[in-house]
Chain A
């Protein structure tokens, strides 16, 4: 079974902080994805990566960056957190995409 692990289930940060969300997969998958989920909006793609050190912008990359230094790990970075980035963040890998349990991030 594919396992995608997100480092935190719940996180509370302050406006202006730099926030790191970590995601690790255990199946040597090339493709990894970061989404945010908001009520009524479904899943919106922030960034994805199809190989180490490769990244592509998704639909809503503004205010975010990513890092993929190793194949198994894909990190999402909020450069300067703002309240409108309060959301559920979901990491996925492979196809069909397998998801972690999500990180509920609150920015105060």
Chain B
């Protein structure tokens, strides 16, 4: 039973446009959400996070939106750059879980020149 779902295996976006990556979850008790970026043959890199008490968090070109009623979060990248081409993972955390993360399957983002 997948608690965190990324329904798009891949996404192709023109350079300079906005990239929107989506993530859905089923457990309303999740209290923290994170996005990671992964290049081939490297470990994932932490990108941005959001607490369940907020609905938006911004860091430079990256913004994460949380819609608790819909159990949905999204990562916006604007403007998209060639270096953003990577696999993006969404992850969720439960308080008192020893910092375990529940991961989505990932979305491969391809930025076209």
- Write the residues of chain A forming the contact surface with B, with a CB cutoff of 8 angstroms: 4, 9, 31, 33, 40-45, 48, 50, 56, 58, 90, 92, 94-102, 104
Closest to B44 in A: A99
Out of A41, A94, A102, which one reaches B43, CB within 8 Å?
A102
Tell whether, in the assembled complex, residue B43 and residue A99 are in contact, meaning their CB atoms are under 8 Å apart: yes
Q: Which residues of the partner chain B approach A41 to less than 8 Å between Cβ atoms?
A: 105
- Name the segment of B58-66, B70-78, B96-104 touching the other chain: B96-104
Interface size on B, residues (CB 8 A): 19
Q: Which residues of the partner chain A approach B79 to less than 8 Å between Cβ atoms?
A: none
A58 to B99, CA, bound (A): 12
Given contacts A98-B46, A101-B43, contact A42 B9 (CB under 8 A): no
- Write the residues of chain B forming the contact surface with A, with a CB cutoff of 8 angstroms: 9, 34, 41-46, 49, 89, 93, 98-101, 103-106
Q: Which residues of the partner chain A approach B99 to less than 8 Å between Cβ atoms?
A: 31, 50, 94-95, 97
Q: Which residues of the partner chain B approach A94 to less than 8 Å between Cβ atoms?
A: 99
> In this complex, which of B44, B45, B89, B99 has the most chain A Cβ atoms within 10 angstroms of its Cβ?
B99
Given contacts A40-B9, A96-B34, contact A45 B42 (CB under 8 A): no
Q: Which residues of the partner chain B approach A42 to less than 8 Å between Cβ atoms?
A: 89, 103-106
Closest to A93 in B: B99
Tell whether, in the assembled complex, residue A102 and residue B41 are in contact, meaning their CB atoms are under 8 Å apart: yes
- Closest-CB distance, B99 to chain A (whole angstroms): 4
A71 to B42, CA, bound (A): 24
A90 to B49, CA, bound (A): 20
Q: 19 A-B contacts, Cβ less than 8 Å apart?
A: A4-B43, A40-B105, A42-B103, A42-B105, A43-B89, A44-B103, A45-B100, A48-B98, A48-B100, A50-B98, A90-B44, A95-B93, A95-B99, A96-B34, A96-B49, A99-B43, A101-B42, A101-B43, A104-B41
Closest to B93 in A: A95
Tell whether, in the assembled complex, residue B103 and residue A43 are in contact, meaning their CB atoms are under 8 Å apart: yes
Q: Which residues of the partner chain A approach B105 to less than 8 Å between Cβ atoms?
A: 40-42
Q: Which residues of the partner chain A approach B34 to less than 8 Å between Cβ atoms?
A: 96
